[in-house]
Amino acid sequence: MTAAQTAKLTLGPLLFNWSNEKRQDYYARVADEADVDTVILGETVCSKRTPFQEPHWPGLIDRLQKGGKEVVLSTLGLILSSREMNDMRETVADENLYFEANDIAVDDMLKGRPHMIGPMMNVYNEGTLARLAAGGADRVCVPVEMSGHAIGVLAGAGIMDVEVFVFGRMPLAIAARCYHSRIHKVPKSNCRYVCGLDNDGLAIDTLDGKPFLTVNGTQTMSYTVSNLAAEIPEMLKMGVKSFRISPHDVDVVRIARQFRGIIDGTADPQDLLDETDGLIDGAPNSNGFFYDEEGLKYKNAE
C-alpha cells in the first residue's frame, strides 16, 4: 500500500461562533456529502459558546458516524477557571468517544486512553512527542508555525501519527481577553456573543489600511488563509498521515474534494490555490511557516 492510499482528511473543529442553524446545516451537509475521513466537533476557543452547542453534539455525532465519518471531540485551548476545568472533566468522562487535548491538563485527564493532541499544544520535537505518547496520545496535529523540516522529523520518528493543518485561517494566539468584546465596547462578562457577527472572523487593519490579522473572540488568527496544497506531495513522502481542513464559510464539500484529489495525485494543487486565493474576505493564500519563514507569506514551491 502506498502512502497516498493511507493519508486521511480531517475536518478540524469549527473555530468561529456560528448560529445553531448555520452550524447544523453545515454539519448535515458534511455528514452526507463531504469526502472527509474524520470530523472534529467541540469548542476550542471560548467556554461561553459551549452551552449552545453541547445539546446538539449527540445528534451530530450520530449523523456523522452514519455518514461514515470518524468523530473526534475537541476541548478548550485555554482553561482559566475551575468551572471550565470541571466541564472538561465531565466532557472527557465519556469513554465511548475519542478526544483531542489542547491543554496539558486535559491530556492528563485522558492518560492511559488513546487520544490526540491538538495544534494549540506545544509539540515541537520528538522528546515531547515521546512523553505524550507514554500518556496514551496516538495522533498529533502539529502547531501551525511548525516548519516542513520539523514536520518531516516528527512524521519520520514513528512515535505517533502526524496530522498537519493545511487549510484555513491559522489560530495564532489565545488570551484571557476577548477582542470582539473590546471592539464592540461590551464587557467580556456580558459580551452578547458579538463574535457571532463574523463567520470567518473579523479582519483588522494597520493604520495605513493594510489587512493584518483576524480576531475571533479571545483568539487571534492569521489574516491570510493557510493553504499547503502544493506541499502535500512532499508531506506524503515524509509520512504525514492526515491533513486538516479548518471550517470556513465556504463550500467545504468542494474544498475537501479538491484536497482528496491532491492526496490521490489526480488533481493539480495550483487549481485549488487559484480558487482559494481571495475566497475568504479577499485574503491571500499563505504557506510561509512550512518554509520556516513569515507565516503570512506565500512561497512558490521549487
List residues binding another protein (CB under 8 A): 77-82, 85, 103-105, 107-109, 120, 122, 124-132, 143-146, 149-150, 153-154, 170, 172-179, 182-183, 188-189, 202, 204-210, 212-213, 215, 220, 222, 278-279, 281-282, 288-289, 292-296
Of residues 38 and 161, the one with the C-beta less far from another protein = 161
Please tell me the distance from the alpha carbon of residue 89 to that of residue 283, in angstroms, as a whole number. Answer: 38
Residue 43 or 281 having the CB closest to another protein: 281
In whole angstroms, give the CA distance from residue 218 to residue 212. 17
Between 5 and 81, whose beta carbon lies closer to another protein? 81
State phi, psi for 219 to the nearest 5 degrees: -100, 145
Q: Which CB atom, from 226 or from 242, has the smaller least distance to another protein?
A: 226
Identify whether the C-beta of residue 244 lies closer than 8 Å to the C-beta of residue 163: yes
Task: Report the alpha-carbon distance of residue 57 to residue 178 in Å, rounded.
Answer: 25
Residue 189 CB, shortest distance to another protein, in Å, is 8
Minimum separation from the CB atom of position 134 to another protein (A): 9
Which letter does DSSP use for residue 39 in this model?
E
Number of Cα atoms under 13 Å in the Cβ half of residue 125: 1
Residue 35 vs 145, nearer CB to another protein:
145
Closest separation in Å from C-beta 181 to another protein: 8
Kindly give the pairing relationship between strand 202-205 and strand 137-141.
Answer: unpaired
* Distances, alpha carbon 259 to alpha carbons 118, 140, 149, 166, in Å: 21, 20, 22, 9
Number of CB atoms found within 10 A of residue 200's CB: 21
